[in-house]
């Protein structure tokens, strides 16, 4: 179940869709304020993987009542290699799917970035508690291959639909995503 930030209150469990690697958070406080002459709210949250953060009222913040995660290794790996639904949703505008797909290239297959990616994909605070690192690395390679193919396909469609918008969005993507769009092999 998701709700708008207007319904988020102290004690609620939330996720921030723009930073899923932070994990679930607990709302500590909601403060009404004025920013740029507009009434808004600051929401203070303790995230499982990012500590206490303050977020300005945003539709990216949603209350959640996620059910239990299937911790079987095969189920976790399947979750990790699958592209997130919002990247595949044909009812979303093409430009949004293209931009969001490019943004997923912020994760790479090493260090903390690998673990942030695995946490994003599984919803686990510590993916290493359930899977060995070599299995997470292997899943990332499969995910990255699917992500690259998806970005190429969206890029072709986006370029045909609106080349100027394609260029504007592509220039804001991480370098690895831009390399994929240029036809360079970036798999590591």
pLDDT (tens digit per residue) in 11-30: 888 878 778 788 778 888 88
Phi, psi of 32 (to 5 degrees): -75, 140
Q: How far is the C-alpha of 183 from the C-alpha of 188, rounded, in Å?
A: 15
| Strands annotated E in 36-127 | 38-47, 51-56, 61-63
CA atoms within 13 A on the CB side of 101: 33
Output the six-digit token pair for 66.
């996620």
In a domain, 78, yes or no: yes
> The domain that contains 9 carries what CATH number?
2.40.10
Domain co-membership, 86 together with 136: yes
What is the helix (H) or strand (E) element at residue 25, kind and residue range? strand 25-35
- DSSP class of 10: T
The answer to whether residue 187 is domain-embedded is no
Same domain, 101 and 142: yes
- Structural domain includes residue 158: yes
Least confident segment among 26-35, 75-84, 115-124: 26-35
For residue 108, is pLDDT > 70?
Answer: yes
The length of the chain, given as a count of residues: 188
Q: Is 50 within the bounds of a domain?
A: yes
Do 119 and 169 lie in a common domain?
A: yes
Shared domain for 24 and 83, answered yes or no, is no
Say how far apart CA 27 and CA 78 lie, in whole Å: 30
**Residue 109: CB partners within 8 Å, gap ≥ 6?**
137, 140, 141, 144, 188
For the stretch 43-92, pLDDT in tens is 888 887 788 888 887 766 766 655 545 678 888 899 899 999 989 999 99
Based on the fold, state whether residues 56 and 144 are members of the same structural domain.
Answer: no
> What is the helix (H) or strand (E) element at residue 121, kind and residue range?
helix 111-122
pLDDT band at 4 (very low <50, low <70, confident <90, very high): very low
**Co-location of 50 and 82 in the same domain:** no
95 and 49 both lie in a single domain: no
As beta bridge partners, residue 26 has 13, 46
Number of structural domains, the chain?
2
Q: What is the domain extent for residue 14? A: 5-63
Cα distances (Å, whole numbers) of residue 8 to 39, 43, 46, 116: 16, 9, 14, 25
Residue among 79, 72, 148 at smallest CA distance from 108: 148
Torsion-angle region of residue 94: left (phi > 0), alpha (psi -120 to 50) or beta? Answer: alpha
Q: Is 186 domain-assigned?
A: no
Question: So what's the pLDDT on residue 137?
Answer: 96
Same domain, 117 and 145: yes
């Amino acid at each position: 179940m998701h709700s708008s930030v207007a319904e988020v209150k102290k004690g609620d469990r939330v996720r921030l869709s723009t930073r899923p690697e932070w994990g679930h958070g607990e709302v500590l406080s909601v403060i009404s304020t004025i920013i740029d002459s507009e009434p808004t709210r600051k929401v203070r949250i303790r995230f499982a993987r990012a500590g206490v953060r303050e977020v300005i009222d945003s539709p990216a913040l949603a209350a959640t009542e996620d059910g239990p995660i299937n911790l079987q290794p095969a189920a976790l790996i399947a979750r990790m290699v699958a592209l997130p639904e919002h990247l595949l949703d044909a009812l979303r505008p093409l430009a949004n799917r293209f931009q969001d797909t490019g943004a997923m290239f912020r994760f790479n297959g090493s260090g903390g970035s690998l673990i942030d990616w695995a946490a994003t994909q599984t919803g686990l605070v510590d993916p290493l508690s359930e899977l060995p690192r070599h299995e997470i690395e292997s899943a990332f390679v499969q995910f990255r291959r699917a992500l690259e193919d998806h970005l190429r396909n969206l890029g072709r469609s986006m370029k045909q639909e609106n080349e100027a918008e394609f260029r504007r969005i592509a220039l804001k993507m991480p370098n690895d995503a831009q390399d994929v769009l240029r036809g360079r092999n970036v798999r590591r």
